[in-house]
């Protein structure tokens, strides 16, 4: 009984520690003063100036475009790769999984320099395409790690049963396997999208002139002092991701309720 209050206090302190900086950022995005530690009244002017700043909007465009494309492509490749790894024999599976862990455990600066060297060796011009390929490369292992646990939860003979009933391999994957592993696929896509938006080091080494994402833009602006417009932009991005997660969780919970009702009937 004594432990329960301490657990609640610990959880509250943990969430305060995690979300207090975000709350402060959102509050100061409405601050009339440019000084970060001085409140000078409520205003929306940084939001209005944000949508007039072409440099930030251009960085936002590249960030969102690369994040969407890399998350979609890496999710498709990662899901197919996870299915292939799942069907491998024990020894081969262990070897491939260990290889898959390397990009996850590898420092970003090593991955960034390695990809930059590869692109230069292949005589590829650094820019939008090289940054996109880099983001796809470091996202794929995370998608594989998100999808594999869902594949392990499948009944062992489910694929053979679908094939015995006349389904083609493609139809069996589409109608039987994909609906079962869908939560893992969505999780992998969200992780890939978040990592792509958040990445700085790998993007810094694999981009070229004229192509920057928000991380690089914020870094260059931070050297001269954080502009309050960045607070406004960060607030909008946080709220957008929050709304997306709420909608996905609501949709998932509604499907679970429908399944429960159908099973009960």
Range of the domain at 91: 62-224
User: What is the DSSP-derived secondary structure letter of residue 124?
Assistant: P
pLDDT band at 153 (very low <50, low <70, confident <90, very high): confident
pLDDT band at 131 (very low <50, low <70, confident <90, very high): very high
Task: Establish if 79 belongs to a structural domain.
Answer: yes
Task: Establish if 91 belongs to a structural domain.
Answer: yes
d(CA 176, CA 65): 32
Task: Establish if 20 belongs to a structural domain.
Answer: no
- CATH classification of the domain holding 77: 1.10.3720.10
Asked whether the predicted pLDDT for residue 187 surpasses 80, the reply is: yes
Asked whether the predicted pLDDT for residue 220 surpasses 50, the reply is: yes
Predicted model pTM:
0.81
Residue range 51-59: average pLDDT? Answer: 86
Task: Establish if 112 belongs to a structural domain.
Answer: yes
176, 150, 153, 151: which is closest to 163 by C-alpha?
176
d(CA 138, CA 132): 10
Task: Establish if 259 belongs to a structural domain.
Answer: no
- Are the C-beta atoms of residues 233 and 61 closer than 8 Å to each other? no
Structure tokens at 181: 């592993």
Q: Give the pLDDT confidence score for residue 260 in this predicted structure.
A: 47
Task: Establish if 147 belongs to a structural domain.
Answer: yes
d(CA 253, CA 236): 26
d(CA 235, CA 44): 12
Task: Establish if 167 belongs to a structural domain.
Answer: yes
| Helix %, strand %, coil % of the chain (to 5) | 80, 0, 20
Task: Establish if 36 belongs to a structural domain.
Answer: no
Q: Give the pLDDT confidence score for residue 253 in this predicted structure.
A: 64
Tell me the Cα Rg of the chain. 23
pLDDT band at 134 (very low <50, low <70, confident <90, very high): very high
The total number of structural domains in the chain stands at: 1
- Please give the biggest Cα pair distance in the chain: 71
């Amino acid at each position: 009984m004594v432990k329960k209050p301490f657990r609640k206090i610990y959880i509250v302190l943990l969430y305060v520690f995690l979300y207090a900086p975000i709350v402060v950022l959102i509050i100061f995005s409405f601050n009339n003063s440019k000084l970060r530690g001085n409140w000078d009244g409520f205003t929306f002017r940084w939001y209005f100036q944000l949508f007039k700043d072409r440099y930030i909007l251009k960085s936002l465009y590249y960030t969102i475009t690369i994040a969407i494309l890399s998350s979609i492509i890496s999710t498709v490749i990662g899901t197919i790769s996870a299915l292939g790894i799942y069907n491998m024999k024990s020894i081969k599976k262990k070897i491939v999984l260990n290889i898959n862990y390397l990009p996850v455990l590898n420092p970003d600066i090593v991955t960034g320099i390695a990809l930059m060297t590869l692109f230069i060796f292949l005589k590829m011009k650094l820019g939008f395409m090289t940054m996109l390929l880099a983001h796809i490369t470091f996202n794929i292992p995370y998608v594989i790690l998100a999808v594999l646990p869902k594949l392990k939860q499948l009944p062992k003979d489910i694929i053979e049963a679908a094939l015995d009933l006349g389904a083609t391999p493609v139809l069996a994957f589409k109608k039987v396997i994909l609906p079962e592993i869908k939560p893992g696929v969505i999780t992998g896509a969200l992780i890939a999208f978040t990592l792509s938006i958040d990445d700085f080091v790998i993007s810094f080494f694999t981009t070229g002139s004229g192509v920057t994402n928000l991380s690089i833009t914020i870094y260059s602006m931070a050297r001269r002092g954080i502009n309050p417009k960045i607070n406004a932009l960060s607030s909008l991005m946080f709220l957008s991701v929050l709304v997306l997660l709420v909608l996905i969780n609501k949709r998932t919970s509604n499907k679970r309720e429908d399944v429960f009702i159908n099973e009960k009937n």
